[in-house]
Amino acid sequence: MGDEGLELEGVSFAAAGRLIVDSVSLRVRPGETLAVVGPSGCGKTTLLRLIAGLERPECGRILFDGDDLAAVPPHRRNFGMMFQEFALFPHLTVEQNIAFGLRHSRFPRGAHRERVAELLTMTGLMEFGKRTIEKLSGGERQRVALARALAPEPRLLMLDEPLGSLDRALRERLLVELKTILEQLRVPALYVTHDQFEAFAMSTVMAVMRAGRIVRMGTPREVHNEPQTEFVARFLGMENIVPGERRSDGLVETACGDWQTAPAEPGPVQLLIRDEQATLAKQAGLGVATGVLRSRMFQGNDVYVGMETAAGELRFRLEANEELPPEGTRIFVHAPRAQVLAAG
């Protein structure tokens, strides 16, 4: 039971004298989706290629259900892959594209038609089986690519920026559908993306990569609530990071206000001030940022405000019903959530 799923032990890969993947260890169990997120060039796609067997690691081990895959060629690993480009055959029908995924599968040829019909139903493509790919929308093509990847009943599903070419509204709808399918199948999955919204939405476990290394791993809630380092916080879109001086009792003094954190070693620190749960205050105080209102942007239930402070520009989300003064006015914003970040 403990060996089920995918496991990487200290996997590294170099090209042109540069480490692309650096000592990566991780585990994905049945029913889990690990989202690997990071900036372009951080090594996340190369990591997928190593797992698929398209590249060989310099060192470390890749195992599935406890078996070392070093001597197993890609076509015998039974891992499904789905890419942003879809790689579909435009002149073939939807049914023929899905059936192509069965060519090296355990399904006998006589069972292909039944398996294709099952996948058409699963992905909501029942009415599109006879259509050619060129007659489909982007979202429909995405479903065909998913159906083809699932056709051979893969032991592991790997998705590389699968929704990157779709507009945001369609992407959000398909995220829900894809997550539902993965939960039903309970197949271990890796979801590679540079989009933190997709990573949070899709994953049960999330890994943030930087320069070939995993620098933060945890549940989506853990990573969001405790980014730990300045790099992870900024990558996740958390902009309010200011220098401060921490006292031994945990009070952090900054140029724009003071915040209470956990007692720790005194000295200079970087403080992350969360932009959510913020409210207007009447005066300066603990957990209150002081500055001049410079911008506001209405976003439905929220208004996103920018303020100029002695520590630099800060941005906060306030409830839309907050009564804001004119721009250029001195304001106080109570931001109760703040935490010290580690270097990196």
**Domain limits of the chain?**
6-234, 241-341
pLDDT digits (tens, 9 = 90+) for 6-25: 999 999 999 988 999 999 99
Q: Is the pLDDT of residue 37 over 60?
A: yes
Q: By three-state DSSP, how is residue 239 classified?
A: coil
- 6-234 CATH, one of 3.40.1740.10, 3.30.300.10, 3.40.50.300, 3.30.300.30: 3.40.50.300
pLDDT digits (tens, 9 = 90+) for 274-283: 999 999 999 9
Residues 288 and 339 sit within 8 Å (Cβ to Cβ): no
Burial 132-141, CB ≥16 within 10 A → b, else e: bbeebeebbb
Task: Compute the average pLDDT of residues 308-326.
Answer: 95
* Element containing residue 189 per DSSP (H, E): strand 189-193
pTM for the complete prediction?
0.88
> DSSP character for 265?
-
- 241-341 CATH, one of 2.60.40.420, 2.40.50.140, 2.60.40.10, 2.60.40.3880: 2.40.50.140
Q: Is the pLDDT of residue 227 over 70?
A: yes
Query: What is the separation of C-alpha 163 from the centre of its chain, rounded to a whole number of angstroms?
Result: 12
Total residues found in the chain within this entry: 344
